[in-house]
A and B are shown apart, each in its own frame.
Chain A
Amino acid sequence: MEDSIKMAGEEKQTENKPEELRIGVFICHCGLNIAGVIDIKELVEFAKTIPDVVYVKDNRYTCADPGQEEIRKAIKEHKLNRVVVAACSPRMHEVTFRRTVSEAGLNPYLFEIANIREFSSWCHPSTPKEATEKAKDLIKMAVAKARLLMPLQTIEVPVTNKALVIGGGIAGMNAALDLAEMGFKVYLLEKGESIGGHMAQLDKTFPTLDCSICIEGPKMVDVGRHPNIEIISYADLLNVSGFIGNFKVRIRKNPRYVIAENCTGCGECKDVCPIEYPNEWDMGLGVRKAISVPFDQAVPLVYTINRDYCIECYKCVDACGARQAINFDQKPEEIELEVGAIIVATGYDIYLPYDNQLYGYGKYTNVITSLEFERLILAAGPTGGKVVRASDGQKPHSVAFIQCVGSRDTNKYPYCSNFCCMYTLKHVVQLKEKYKEDIEVYVFYMDMRTNFKGFEEFYQRARELGVNFVRGRVSRIFEDPETKNLIIHAEDANLGMPIEVEAEMVVLATAAIPKKGTEDIARILNLTRGTDGFFMESHPKLKPLDAPTDGIFLAGACQGPKDIPYSVSQGCGAAARAATVLSKKTWKIEPIIAIVDPTKCRNVTTKCGICAERCPYGAIKAEEKKPAQVITAMCHGCGTCVAECPADAIQQMHFTDAQILAQLRTALEKNPEDKILAFLCNWCAYAGADLAGTSRFEYPPTIRPIRVMCSGRVDRDFVLEAFRLGAGMVLVGACHLPYDCHYISGNWKMKARMDALAPMLHKLGLTPERFRVEFISAAEGVKFAEVIQEMTEQMRTLGRERIKAENEKLRPVLENMLKRKEKK
């Protein structure tokens, strides 16, 4: 995706007027939570000695109204232009105090927290002296960052309150209907001739056996008639540009050779058309005319001419007569839409196992897939609901159903396709209830997965009807060349015996696989796909409907195989998620984004583009011979690009190199070889450290933490600088691999960077334990405490002298490395 809109306020973010620094420091007692361990008086006296600090005040509870009022008063009376609060975790009250300072007229980003509760008083209660010393460092580090803070403006982008839903299956239809009911204009894009999706192909639905089209048909009509929904069918998605609230979508409408506005759907053209071709809707089992609709309930009810088969006899033109709906000169038409949010509901395909030699699909006439069986047993299907064999047109007396064809197979699709157990149960119940004693039914399965409402009872019903369930995977099917019966080889694993079963028909429950074209949609919308090929959600638990790109949502089986109720729920859910964007006039973006300095960017002279390649969101555009450009509305503020940029041409607002280095240098001013310098990512490692504090896990007060939004922000220069300054140990704390990162893959980028750095440091003589990357979740307070305990012990075992000696040896090399970089 691309974008050329420059954000308002972007220039403002980078300007930094020189002004006299007037920093106020507010130290919170938090009742006895802080004051019970830390000597507040000493802290106050210490804070007064820090350069640029003009006002220091302690409060019993800084977050309470009187405490906040004192901050507001002090800002006005003492003309404070930076505020530092030494209290609890920023994850607790950063938002509170930002509001407080902005109420007093100060930019909310000119505020910083020193976390002296979770990070000091709560985790070092038995060493109050050291805890106080650590608190002093934390305050001094916060002041160091505060000096360099810049006022930032919240970025607002306008929102177009229209939506695009891609895919007109049951998930997409529900998404479109819900959004339309909320009052938003919805474009429903469908690749095929009609909406309805796979559900419209089905006979019955499990476990209730209601008729599928009887419940879906009315919904399709509702969609077609809704004044807020515009169906764009028989059309392809060409391109999407822009960002949340402001997407530009290009679509190509393919020619039907029938003018939609003039077509009444009467079908008189079809009656006179002499040409028939296999109907893909019937899985090729039935036929349709060269001018036709795929099925009677199609919405929109507009006929289409298939020019691959049409012989241009023009009988249809005559039959249409005065309505003049047929136009053989129709051309593809490109249209452009503007929408604020996009819902992707492109669904799935059914695997056709032509490549599976062992089961003989495509080779033996009486081996069919479940979707073909579905069309056979459907009353409106090509056989009028009679289940017959292709070889002789006779009703089979024995049918074997084979589960997990392609699914749960590491050679094809390793995942479970979710709904096959249930649709096979549906098929066997239908067969048994239709033909009673006249049919023998086998199901070869590995595990029966019947884990939703009414499913297990349905399984029971199938057993009571006398279906033979055989636990064992089929290894091979042979055809009897005379009878065209199938001989199935399997092991009855419960008996531990190889068995052979002869059946007159075999039905393969094949895998649900990513829809053809998923790759193109992924490319156009910058969506990520899992190893299974389905679209990846932003977070598997808490953001199951959000795509990683803001303003784009996922619904239904495009994200993994799902049954009807699950797809409907997701459609409705995605509509609600999209409405959180569409219902706003403007969309606010926190301004902690990355900004490129075009004068430093290498991409102007050489082909670089590292930032664009490493950005987890595809938010950076690096065109040839032009400086890289961050698309503000797509940037999530992880800072990975900043750390990756070889020219230091990118800065992350509020987490600039200068700010982080100032914290780092302050932390290592005194006795650096006794300290562990830690970079903690906001969402996992920092939260884990907070939890260690709230859980009162005690660990040695040796650590000096620096908060970054994502571990991806941790530049290797930070590590080098820390060792140059003599740090005892360096720790990088990140979210767990592979999926825990809140910025998709920042932790992976950090890992790759540090994996390359560590051996180099070891070669230069650094003891390996002194530089550590650790993955700590927000729930692993214990682990955090243990890691610090362990590192402290290692540091003490090594001893100051050894550390100092190593650092002496390292320093010239590190200085050289850092200097070389500065020159560039």
Chain B
Amino acid sequence: MSGEKPLDFTKEITSKLGGETIARCYQCGTCASTCPVTRTTERYNPRQIIRLALLGQRDEVLKGDSIWLCASCYNCQERCPQKVEIADVIYALRNIAIREGNIPAIYTEFANGLMSEGRLAPISKFLEKKRADYGLPPLKPTGVEAIKKILAATGFDKIMFKKEGTPQ
């Protein structure tokens, strides 16, 4: 096995919000068998992600797209017999991945949209026309300055800007 010492990565995860419970896992597979995503694709299996993480397979876990496929339905977390907060562990892993620049392009788009427009989804001409057709008022500008302030206070902007210009 390659990678860093298993314990170092485990410690890193457990020190993150949401990642505290990962080491309780005894690999029963309740999460995988209850997961609606795992049922549709082989690319996501929460049990395997936890296994790889506990074995210190840092790159395998953080660089792939696997952790980004979780739909956050929390079925696994509800049913885990060891009270591993699986969905939250996945969030912790995503947070680590983001800080290291492993962000799928779609999330960079979301983030940039949020910071420049104050919206996750961009407003297209098509959308505005549709709204008019339905008799909805045109969208008001968002309080983008306030959002920017909040994002700056949380340090979100720094994480994202660091990656700006680097193609995903």
Contacts and interface: CB of A to CB of B under 8 A. Distances in A.
Interface of A: 358, 404, 408-411, 446, 471-476, 489-493, 496-499
Given A475-B30, A490-B29, A410 B81 contact: yes
Give 8 closest A-B pairs by Cβ, nearest first: A491-B29, A473-B28, A475-B34, A491-B33, A491-B32, A409-B81, A472-B29, A493-B29
Interface in B16-33: 24, 26-33
B26 A475 contact: no
A499 B34 CA distance: 10
Given A410-B81, A410-B82, A493 B34 contact: no
Given A408-B26, A476-B33, A491-B45, 20 more contacts: A408-B81, A409-B81, A410-B81, A410-B82, A446-B27, A446-B28, A471-B29, A472-B29, A475-B30, A475-B31, A491-B30, A491-B32, A491-B33, A491-B38, A493-B28, A496-B32, A496-B47, A497-B42, A498-B33, A498-B35
In this complex, the member of B27, B32, B39 whose beta carbon has the largest number of chain A beta carbons within 10 angstroms is B32
A410 B34 CA distance: 18
B48 interface: yes
A411 B81 contact: yes
A496 B66 CA distance: 14
B79 interface: yes
Contacts of A471: 29
B131 to A, nearest CB: 42
Contacts of B162: none
Contacts of B32: 491, 493, 496, 498
Output the residue of B26, B81, B83 with the most chain A CB within 10 A: B81
Interface string B33-60: 1110011001001011000000000000
A491 B79 CA distance: 14
Contacts of A358: 79
B163 to A, nearest CB: 32
Nearest to A406: B81
Contacts of A410: 24, 81-83
A493 B83 CA distance: 19
A127 B82 CA distance: 55
Contacts of B48: 496
A498 B30 contact: no
B34 A476 contact: yes
A411 B83 contact: yes
Contacts of A492: 29
A595 to B, nearest CB: 48
Contacts of A475: 29-31, 33-34, 79
Nearest to A492: B29
Given A446-B28, A493-B28, A474 B33 contact: yes
User: Which of B30, B32, B33, B83 counts the most chain A CB atoms within 10 A?
Assistant: B33
A476 B81 CA distance: 13
Contacts of B39: 498
Nearest to B40: A498
A489 B82 CA distance: 19
Interface string B97-134: 00000000000000000000000000000000000000
Contacts of A446: 26-28
Q: Which of A473, A489, A490 has the most C-beta atoms of chain B within 10 angstroms of its own C-beta? A: A473
26 contacts: A408-B81, A409-B81, A410-B81, A411-B83, A446-B27, A471-B29, A472-B33, A473-B28, A473-B29, A473-B30, A473-B33, A473-B81, A474-B30, A476-B33, A489-B33, A489-B34, A490-B33, A491-B29, A491-B32, A491-B33, A491-B38, A492-B29, A493-B47, A496-B45, A496-B48, A498-B38
Contacts of B31: 475
A476 to B, nearest CB: 6
Nearest to A499: B33
Contacts of A408: 26, 81
A675 to B, nearest CB: 41
Contacts of A490: 29, 33
A491 B48 CA distance: 11
A372 B81 CA distance: 25
B52 to A, nearest CB: 11
B22 to A, nearest CB: 15
A796 B68 CA distance: 57
A104 B58 CA distance: 76
A446 B38 CA distance: 20
A470 to B, nearest CB: 10
A241 to B, nearest CB: 43
A493 B27 CA distance: 8
A401 to B, nearest CB: 16
B87 to A, nearest CB: 15
A550 to B, nearest CB: 39
A380 to B, nearest CB: 36
A671 to B, nearest CB: 46
A472 B45 contact: no
A472 B30 CA distance: 7
A410 to B, nearest CB: 5
A475 B28 CA distance: 10
Contacts of B38: 491, 498
Most buried by A among B34, B39, B83: B34
A474 B31 CA distance: 10
B155 to A, nearest CB: 35
